[in-house]
Amino acid sequence: GQQLNQSPQSMFIQEGEDVSMNCTSSSIFNTWLWYKQEPGEGPVLLIALYKAGELTSNGRLTAQFGITRKDSFLNISASIPSDVGIYFCAGQLDGGTSYGKLTFGQGTILTVHP
Amino acid sequence: ETGVTQTPRHLVMGMTNKKSLKCEQHLGHNAMYWYKQSAKKPLELMFVYNFKEQTENNSVPSRFSPECPNSSHLFLHLHTLQPEDSALYLCASSQDLTGTTDTQYFGPGTRLTVL
């Protein structure tokens, strides 16, 4: 089956630093999603990407859908303590029975020191 | 608050017990999902329902039995579980299964511990 390789597995940064994480896949996806999960909560959607090459921002977050459709990255600029959490990438194929079936990465645990 | 609620939030059960997890969504969606989240592993899709009909069973053992009585409610019935079934069980919902841009909204999860 499809697998997503997300890196890094964890990051320890100082407040104000920029953060970058990425996901690569052995096969293509038509949709890339980035979620954040805080302790005791379910994942919350941050950014959705639907076209190869697409670059989308949401406040201090920026994500890109790779041209090959096999990768995506997420950048967080000027990190703040509330950015702490686990960030997941997820990919989805289109069409037929593929809708609704997300493949998730292993997650990146982000710790921000004040 | 995502509009998807799950009860209970925590559950401890023995291997011979029978229990049920409940999920309710207040978003008017038609598709609902069960995921399993284990430590250091990616979220695993278990079941998908669309308009109350099961459309996906991702090779889940029969000791997990889902039920979707209507588009707003989803249950996961548990019996004779194993300790390795201990995990966070997440419910999600989306508008339906017909669009690329269909976004899944997650509940807070039920933390299950099997003794």
Q: What is the 3-state secondary structure (H, E, C) of B50-72?
A: ECCEEEEECCCCCCEEEEEEECC
Q: What is the mean pLDDT of residues A5-20?
A: 96
pLDDT recorded at residue A77: 97
User: Inter-chain contact B103–A48, Cβ cutoff 8 Å?
Assistant: yes
Does the pLDDT at position A62 exceed 90? Answer: yes
- Cβ atoms of residues A20 and B88 within 8 Å: no
Split chain B (115 residues) into runs of 10 and give each run's mean pLDDT. Answer: 91 93 96 92 91 91 96 96 96 82 88 95
pLDDT top residue among B101 and A104: A104
Looking at the complex, report in whole angstroms how far the Cα of residue A36 sits from the nearest Cα belonging to chain B: 11
C-alpha–C-alpha distance, residues B101 and B43, integer Å? 20
Two structure tokens written together for B109: 């999860």
Percent of chain A beyond pLDDT 90? 78
By Cβ distance, the residue of A30, A40, A90 closest to B100 is A30
* Residue A100 to residue B98, Cβ atoms within 8 A: no
Which residues of B, range 9-38, sit inside 8 Å of A by Cβ? 31, 33
